[in-house]
Amino acid sequence: MEKEPGVDTFVPGKRIAIVAPHASPVPMDGGSIRSRAIADSFAKIGYEVFFWGREEHLRITKNEGACLRSVVPRSNSKLLPAVLSVVRRSHYVMEKHMPEKWIVATCEALDRLRIGTVFLNFIWTEEVVRRLNYKPRVLLDTHNNEVEWFENLMTHGQGMLGKMVCRNSIRYSLRAIERLGAATELIHVSERDRNFYVEKRPDLVHRILPNGCVLKPGRVTPDYAVATKRLYFLGSLSTSMNQDALTMFARTYWPTLKNHATFKVIGSNPPPSISALCDENSWTLVADPTDRELDIILKSMHYAVLPFAYGAGSKLKLLDACGRGIPVLATKGGVTGFGNLPGGIFVSEIPEEWLEKVMQSSSLQPDSGGLLEFAGSYSWEHLVARFVAEAGLRL
């Protein structure tokens, strides 16, 4: 691998390497958004951040970001990593996002830079640290309970190949947890996830860094007295969990709501199945919006919906809506990882109760202030600064 330009000119100081092979250049999925937001927040509090993402190696500081090296874009195929997972008895997501060439290039760069703190993302990236020729401090962000995540996928409908992939991924995750070095410090998004990993590795240090959000106050509240409310779903449309949520919403909730609401499905990489689902239910599909387009669309929305049959980690979608002052209709799976919810978040598994809530709002204004206050305690910069202090990193 050729040397990144300008590396020799960097002044040693507060530096951190963030290894995030899943992170796309334009973050739309939850994992990418979390990893990039944490990187940006480290930079805002004075760190020089080296970020190894899916297609780019970046250097991020408080005042600027620069691409050090572009990586050849990888295929978005789901079949190839599934086949490799079966053949190699390995982790599906690792096969999808972390090919051998990526590992070699990243390890060579880390060995050359010798950054003292390496921040890994997902259990399966522990392979990177095992190949390094020096021993940095290792922080590993688990993002979710990997075992629970794949068990949920199996429970809620997978074919024979999918079930094999899920079982292999679970086995690989458990082996990876066992392989973690004794000095590894694990980071979790919720107390629930922490409890799972503590049971597996009680000898390790465990800390919580919740999912966060960017506050976007100042929304002009739309008229809640209108007969037809505007609902939306936001997320990466290529992920099975989000596809399952939309399928369940179409089957379970939409028949009750459809005469009283319109629905927008907003997100990245919509597959043909989601396009067909939108057409079938007369939903509006908004694919791959820019941040500016998204802000404009969401200003007019009455409710965000989180119709998840199952959950893992915690939902960035929930915090995004709260940070905009938009009320939320959710199932229990949609609020996984959160407690002490404000009044603007309505949780129920019963479609008729969702409808009653939507109809009630014709005479009641939602508690947007409570939502913004709730989101304020989850601002990314605040969470990362608190984590840095708790972990004893350099301030």
d(CA 316, CA 296): 19
Q: What is the pLDDT of residue 4?
A: 39
The CATH architecture one would assign to domain 229-376 is 3-Layer(aba) Sandwich (3.40)
Q: What is the pLDDT of residue 215?
A: 87
Q: What is the pLDDT of residue 9?
A: 33
- Contact by Cβ (8 Å): 365, 224: yes
Q: What is the pLDDT of residue 65?
A: 76
Q: What is the pLDDT of residue 364?
A: 56
d(CA 289, CA 136): 39
Q: What is the pLDDT of residue 336?
A: 84
Fold for the domain defined by 7-212+379-391: Rossmann fold (3.40.50)
* 205-208 sheet: strands from edge to edge: 65-70, 56-60, 48-52, 15-19, 117-121, 137-141, 185-188, 205-208
> Furthest-apart CA pair in the chain: how many Å?
65
Low-confidence stretches of the chain (pLDDT < 50) are 1-12
Q: What is the pLDDT of residue 7?
A: 36
Q: CATH 3.40.50.2000 occupies which residues in the chain?
A: 7-212+379-391, 229-376
Closest CA to 121 of 94, 105, 141, 136: 141
Please report, to the nearest 10 degrees, the dihedral formed by the alpha carbons of residues 9, 11, 16, 17 taken in order: 10
- Contact by Cβ (8 Å): 110, 118: yes
d(CA 110, CA 362): 57
Strands 56-60 and 48-52, sheet pairing? antiparallel
Element (H, E) at 158: none
